Structure 1
Amino acid sequence: MQLDLYRVFYVTAMEKNFSKAAKKLYITQPSVSHAIKQLEESLGIQLFVRTSKGVTMTHEGETLFGYISPAFGLIDNAERKISEIKSLKCGHVTIGGSDSTCKHFLLPHIQTFQDMFPEIQIKLQHGSTPKILDKLTKGLIDIGVIHLPIDHSQITLTEFLSISSTFIVGEKYKNLANNHLSLEEMLNYPIISFSETSSSRRFLNQLFQKQGLNVKPDIEVGSVELLIECAKIGMGIAFVTKELVLKELSEGELFEVCLNEKIENRKIGLITRKEIPLSVAANKFIKHLVEISH
């Protein structure tokens, strides 16, 4: 209650008029007069002197105003900042994902988001799925973008994209694109894949295991770019996300190996911390991603 009285005093001192103060505070003029009287009685001093144009502060009133003005100024600034955050005139979002995910699936959408909300700062952090999960649970990122499936009790999951996987070769093994191969026949050729800790590698292992086969890639790489280059120069058959090599396939730099069986599509999901609300900016960004993907 006392803080409310000081707020009435502060606004009245700024406006130098009871009527104007009442209008700004959304209360009646008698309520302003009553609040000032209460504060004066509580402090045992007179704070204002009435004039023909309004009110002026007494010496004691000016002293009190000098002390409380910075506090209410900070509150006013805080309210303005919150208003800017709500209207997306400021804020930041930190997103984590693998290098290829960020480059191929996130950057185009980040650009369209920043075109709409240029004041929002977007930060990117890269890493493997375990690292992204660790960063998320520690509060170092707001949103993680990872390959599914994932089972983690502390996260909320939203499906983002559906992607397809395929095997590709360069000119050296171009003949494999003309024939339908089984997974077992494919083991007769060098296999290029990501490292064993990657979600892509786990998916590859599961694909062969369903046929009772065990795959041991001859070449392991750490980036999509290196995997593509290895395939181009004829080092073997590379397992890759098809959407990442559409350009090379259309231009005849790479060739898709035909399999006897269909490879199920994979999912990319957006993860956030469970029971921890997103900031206004982060919530708007994740809605932007979901809307675009659908």
Structure 2
Amino acid sequence: MNPANIPLYHIFLTVARSSSISGAAKSLYISQPAVSKSIKKLEESLGVSLIKRSSKGITLTNEGNILYRYLHSAFETISAGEDTLRHIHELGIGHIRIGVSSTLCKHILLPCLKDFLTEYPHMQITISCQSTSHTIELIENNEIDIGLIARPDSAKKLDYICAGQIHDIFVSSPQYAKGLIERENISSNDIINNSNLILLDKNNLTRKFINNYLSSWEISSDTAMEVNSMELLIDFVKTGLGVGCIIKEFIKEELNNKSLIQIKTPSTIKPRQICFAYSKSLPSDSACTSLINFLKSRTFY
């Protein structure tokens, strides 16, 4: 398609609808010679005759009728698109793409979105669940707008909204801890050194963080059982398969009802910050701006 023909198509369409050069000129607020010149220019560009003049006015040639049908459909589609955009603007409709791990989604993101959608009921949300490292990559590649992650040491291209701190602790079922103490004839201080460790897979940032902690106390995680989600890790530990490292804030109920107990560690594990992360170059008119402003005014746990 020749882009230079687009304004000529509009003039031709107006002429075809009014069946009159003068009527088209009046509708378009231009002179009749300007309309005639535009039609001639379009005919020369396409290499066909589009209109026939007679004492009764303007009629379309066969080629003109074919072009009219296509242009009518195309301009109707454009008009529908404009109406949709207008509707979106009036209702505050937008599309926000969010990346998050399944665990953070359940415990932090969903409560936030419930309140956010009360204020913005027409907002469209897409949630993609994956690891923190993958979420950061998607943000940097502009494949998602915002992500809920454990704040990394790097990723300087991102801005952050703090959503609170999380505390990693080692836990087991009471039965597993009791059986290990009796079987190995050890004290509760030695459980973590003698237990079957259950950890997230090695590519997970949480696992790398915990590996660094264990290494500082010369505790090996090489033989640890690996799972790919925190929810699955919790289930494995509750079943009594070993000692797992789990985020304390996400198992408050289990700790309160004693279905899980905290295992002593050589030292307290440094807390981590949970953040909503987004690109520094995110457009100011992005639909995500509404969510960012909402999150900045929210009080987290």
TM-score range (shorter-chain normalised) is: 0.5 to 0.7
- Name the SS for the 1:187 alignment partner: helix
Amino acid across the alignment from 2:94: G
2:198·2:242 contact (CA, 8 Å) conserved in 1? yes
Pair 223,291 (structure 1): closer, same or farther in 2 beyond 3 Å: same
- Name the SS for the 2:154 alignment partner: coil
1:190 alignment partner in structure 2: 196
Q: For 2:82 and 2:252, how far apart are their aligned partners in 1?
A: 49
Give the Å deviation of 1:257.
1.8
Pair 74,167 (structure 1): closer, same or farther in 2 beyond 3 Å: same
1:285 alignment partner in structure 2: 291
Amino acid across the alignment from 1:227: L
- Name the SS for the 2:298 alignment partner: helix
2:260 alignment partner in structure 1: 254
Q: For 2:223 and 2:299, how far apart are their aligned partners in 1?
A: 33
Q: 1:119 aligns with which of 122, 128, 134?
A: 122
Q: What does residue range 1-294 of structure 1 map to in structure 2 within 5 Å?
A: 85=88, 89-175=92-178, 181=189, 186-277=192-283, 279-294=285-300
Q: Indicate the larger mover: 267-276 or 211-220.
A: 211-220
Q: For 1:43 and 1:208, how far apart are their aligned partners in 2?
A: 80
Give the Å deviation of 1:77.
7.3
Sequence identity, in percent? 26
1:169·1:255 contact (CA, 8 Å) conserved in 2? yes
Give the Å deviation of 1:142.
1.0
Q: Indicate the larger mover: 70-79 or 222-231.
A: 70-79
Gaps of 5+ in 2: 1-6, 8-28, 37-56, 59-71, 182-186
1:163·1:242 contact (CA, 8 Å) conserved in 2? yes
TM-score (norm 1): 0.68
* C-alpha distance after superposition, 1:117-167 (max 9, x if no partner): 111111111112232223223322111221122412443333332111111
* C-alpha distance after superposition, 1:53-73 (max 9, x if no partner): xxxxxx99xxxxxxxx99999
- Name the SS for the 1:110 alignment partner: helix
Pair 87,272 (structure 1): closer, same or farther in 2 beyond 3 Å: farther
Q: For 2:207 and 2:277, how far apart are their aligned partners in 1?
A: 21
- Name the SS for the 1:152 alignment partner: coil
- Name the SS for the 1:123 alignment partner: strand
Q: Indicate the larger mover: 273-282 or 127-136.
A: 273-282
* C-alpha distance after superposition, 1:102-131 (max 9, x if no partner): 122111111221222111111111112232
1:32 alignment partner in structure 2: none
Give the Å deviation of 1:74.
8.8
Give the Å deviation of 1:79.
7.1
2:191·2:264 contact (CA, 8 Å) conserved in 1? no
2:24 alignment partner in structure 1: none
Pair 226,71 (structure 1): closer, same or farther in 2 beyond 3 Å: closer
Pair 206,189 (structure 1): closer, same or farther in 2 beyond 3 Å: same
Pair 39,152 (structure 1): closer, same or farther in 2 beyond 3 Å: farther
Q: For 1:217 and 1:158, how far apart are their aligned partners in 2?
A: 36
Give the Å deviation of 1:281.
2.5
TM-score (norm 2): 0.66
Amino acid across the alignment from 1:89: G
Amino acid across the alignment from 1:122: I
Pair 237,71 (structure 1): closer, same or farther in 2 beyond 3 Å: closer
